[in-house]
Amino acid sequence: MFKKKDLLLIIPFLILGVCLLFWTQKSHDAGIAVIEENGSEIARYNLATQTQTEIIDIGGDYHVKLLLEPGKISFQSSDCPDQICVRTGKISSPGQVAVCLPAKVVVRIIGKNSQVDGMTG
């Protein structure tokens, strides 16, 4: 059914497909974590270059602490009553957001070359 000439045509396309798969996976590296409190940006962390675990103490009325790890960030603790922010878990991909509404703290991940016009939500 297959001839040698058919394989000479199929194999380069398979190799190209595998290369593209690995290339696109590398382009989805972790982005930049933007931390905002009361609507004002207070810090940015490049998740791709983060090499060790850090605890970021935001403080405030609800004493919010964030856990910054290589490639991801999460709310470690907060004195807010519902703990939804802590249960959100780790975020790591551009477009993901974690919020502590009582403390008015927002953590969002943006792409490295992201130019945001506006946000809703």
The verdict on residue 115 lying in a domain is no
Q: Which tens digit of pLDDT belongs to each residue from 61-88? A: 899 999 999 999 999 999 999 999 999 9
> To the nearest whole number, what is the mean pLDDT of the chain?
85
Residue 27's pLDDT is what?
47
Cα(27)–Cα(24) distance, integer angstroms:
5
The verdict on residue 4 lying in a domain is no
CATH of the domain at 46: 2.60.320.10
pTM: 0.69
pLDDT exceeds 80 at position 109:
yes
Structural domain boundaries enclosing 79: 32-110
Q: Mean per-residue pLDDT for 15-27?
A: 73
pLDDT higher for 24 or 114?
24
